[in-house]
Amino acid sequence: MGANAKYETLSDIVRKGLNLGVQCGCGNVAVIDAARMERWYMCHMWDKRLHMLRDHLYCLRCGGRPREIRLRPSGQVPTAPNRFPVTEEQWVRVIRGLRS
């Protein structure tokens, strides 16, 4: 996968203020809010290394795994429907749910 060598994990990207551009083999492209995604991955204790991210992503059009993950400036607004919790209360519920 051709991720920029300067960035190893999702956290590196968030720190730089970048988002993730994801492209599927079917041609569907989405930009994902990297900050929310990082928190989501942390909650689930998933691997946040860039080449591992695709294991937990799927295409909303065809259901396949993304073929390519690219870095995008955060100025590029996320296009993917927000599947992550929005409020603190929702986050707490996710974390509690995972612990029980």
Residues that bind Zn ion (CB under 5 A): 24, 26, 28, 59, 61-62, 64
What counts of helices (H) and strands (E) characterise the chain?
A: 3, 3
Least Å from the CB of residue 60 to Zn ion: 8
Closer to Zn ion at the Cβ: 10 or 59?
59
- Which residue, among 37, 64, 39, has the nearest Cα to 53 in the 3D structure? 37
- Residue 23 Cβ, how far from Zn ion at the closest point, in Å? 9
CB of 80 to Zn ion, least distance (A): 12
